[in-house]
Amino acid sequence: QNLAAVGMPPPQQRFTPVPGALEVQDGWVGLNALTAQSWSDICALLEAPDFADRQKDIQTKPDAQKAFFAHIQSWLGAHTVEEVVALAQAFRIPSGPLGNGASIRNFEQHRERPFFVKDPSGDFDRPGFPYRMSASGPKMREEAPRLGADTTSLRDSPWAARAPVAPTHPKDQPYLPFAGMRVLDLGTFWAGPYLGMYLATLGADVVKIESVQRPDGYRFIQTFTGLGEKWYEMGGSFQATNLGKRELTLDLRRPEGQEIFCDLVRESDVVLENFSPRVMENFGLGWKQLQAIRPELLMVRMPGFGLEGPWRDWVAYALVLEQVAGMSWVTGHAGGDPLNPGGFLDCVVSMHAATALQAALLHRERTGEGQLIEMPQLETALCLTAEQTIAYSLREEVLARQGNRHPVYAPQGSYQASDGRWVSLSVRDDDDWQRLVAAIGEPEWAMDPRLASGSGRQGSHDAIDAGLAGWMNQRGADQAVETLLAAELPVVKNLIPGSESYGHEHLEAREWFETLIHPHSGEKRYPKFPVRFSFGPERQYTGNAPLLGEHNQEILLQELGFSPEKIAQLEKSKIIGTKPER
């Protein structure tokens, strides 16, 4: 919607961040630039100053990208993984070594901060839990059950009947589970704010804390100065991760801002943040300080790499964590370079944090005890790539890139139709294969008897892909999908994100988008959380993302009892404000 407002077309192709995964002297590293400052720093690091003002061209124009990579090859070949990452982190560039099943467990961070554990079966190593809780942490009980192992015991000793749960709220009155809970949300970009928005959606009063000196960086993503004076209020990503919150600006570097924050902590249930560890400690607002103010507090800390270890102060985005955890290593075509999966990890981290927080809330309800919840984002990512660790632990196999293919299903891939659109198809077993062959007219290439078995199709995947590509290229995507769906095959036309998700008949039928009217960017449609509860709410979002400092007066005057004169002084000294300084 923002692109359309400034006359730009929506993206039609997959966007790959540059530089991304880079091969250096002794391995691969990830260097990532989501902001103009990071890109400028990367160009300085790689001794490529002539490219510092060409970020957009290099991301979108093949010739410019080719010239950039050709220029930096000699520098990359002269440096090791360790050297590049150390230099990049010194520049505060989100970066890290690319991990795989063989290397992940041996990173120095995991040697000094033990995370991988022996499975209870004793057969292999596996990731531990993605969160650490100071008062009620999870425990691994036993190995996964063997098929039918407990059938007899459960039959002979069934679970005792449970007494009905006594309601604490009248059933005929609207109610949300987090109603009455107060949350201070210091989150930035996606991972922290998304957790805050989840809590707000289910009834919590979430106050987002920013400063005019350093607003949430997401305010400046997917927005443009051409949108007007308040362009920083119109970023689509910021809006979509901060709906339903209130907003207070505070300069937490200064004693006056810290004092106000502590006043709010005394009346709050949860504090959440996803800075690198040193940030809160430099503010003097670490767990020990906040616990002393309010022992019942639950604090969710979501650092990139953990609160201790040699990598604790490294900066990271989801792209970096996906690279380090092994996701990039297995993303790409066989024989090709590692690619970035796309930066989806943030919301996965948020939902893992929500799980831990909800357990901590139940613990506090039973004991009155607050606690620290540490949610290292890398360790969440490593739980998603557990298969790589386990495969290497069991048989020293390094799982590799295989494009869109599957270790069992064959064929599986994406094929371009005559109208330029892509169709994704998966053949799960021999029955699927027979239906596919019949649906496409039993072409000669598909009648080879070797293709009747899964192993035969795996060995002939290239030939099958060529045959399917030829069939697909003779018809449009919609016709191809209709034909294959009639044969009861798993097939879909790939959506173009954004431009086609809005208005898609299935999503519209599910009422998956919710419309809000923003004071500066107008009517916007936002995707809902992909979960619905029978108790509601009927509308997930109670309001827009807040404007910078929108509720300063409301919170300071009405809730903390500050005088208008004191508030005016705070604004004059820029402890609070409503406009970014940068």
Q: What is the pLDDT of residues 331-349, one digit of tens each?
A: 999 999 999 887 789 999 9
Please, which residues have CB within 8 angstroms of residue 311's CB and are 6 or more apart in sequence? 96, 107, 108, 109, 304, 305
Tokens of residue 210, six digits: 């920013």
Residue 59's Cα: distance from chain center in Å? 21
The predicted-structure confidence for 368-389, as pLDDT tens digits, reads as follows 999 999 999 999 999 999 999 9
> Of 234, 250, 129, 119, which Cα lies nearest the Cα of 184?
250
Where residue 253 falls among pLDDT bands split at 50, 70, 90?
A: very high
Higher pLDDT, 368 or 536: 368
pLDDT at 9: 60
The predicted-structure confidence for 421-479, as pLDDT tens digits, reads as follows 999 999 999 999 999 999 999 999 999 999 999 999 999 999 999 999 999 999 999 99
Where residue 174 falls among pLDDT bands split at 50, 70, 90?
A: confident
pLDDT at 57: 87
pLDDT at 439: 97
Where residue 317 falls among pLDDT bands split at 50, 70, 90?
A: confident
pLDDT at 344: 87
Where residue 548 falls among pLDDT bands split at 50, 70, 90?
A: very high
Q: How far apart are CA 36 and CA 33, in angstroms?
A: 7
Where residue 142 falls among pLDDT bands split at 50, 70, 90?
A: confident
Q: How far apart are CA 290 and CA 329, in angstroms?
A: 40
Residue 246 has pLDDT above 70, yes or no: yes
Residue 206 · residue 199 · CB < 8 Å: yes
419 three-class SS: coil
Tell me the one-letter amino acid at 501. S
The predicted-structure confidence for 47-91, as pLDDT tens digits, reads as follows 999 999 998 888 888 899 999 999 999 999 999 999 999 999 999
What residue ranges define each of the domains in the chain, with the CATH number in brackets?
2-31+35-93 (no CATH), 182-384+549-572 (3.40.50.10540), 412-493 (3.30.1540.10)
The predicted-structure confidence for 508-517, as pLDDT tens digits, reads as follows 999 999 999 9
Residue 182 has pLDDT above 70, yes or no: yes
Averaged pLDDT of the chain: 93
Q: Give the global pTM.
A: 0.92
Residue 501 has pLDDT above 60, yes or no: yes
Q: How far apart are CA 304 and CA 318, in angstroms?
A: 9
Residue 200 · residue 185 · CB < 8 Å: no
Of the chain, the percentage scoring pLDDT greater than 70 comes to 97
The predicted-structure confidence for 1-53, as pLDDT tens digits, reads as follows 666 665 656 655 566 678 999 999 999 999 998 788 899 999 999 999 999 99
Identify any residues that bridge with 373 across adjacent strands, giving them in sequence order: 133, 300
> Of 245, 237, 372, which Cα lies nearest the Cα of 318?
237
> Of 499, 474, 330, 345, which Cα lies nearest the Cα of 406?
330
pLDDT at 11: 59
> How far is CA 368 from each of CA 52, 271, 286, 365, 490, rounded to the nearest angstrom?
54, 17, 21, 6, 50
564 three-class SS: helix
Q: How far apart are CA 308 and CA 132, in angstroms?
A: 12
- The string of DSSP letters for 208-246 reads EEE-SSS--GGGGSS--GGG-TTGGG--HHHHHTSTT-E
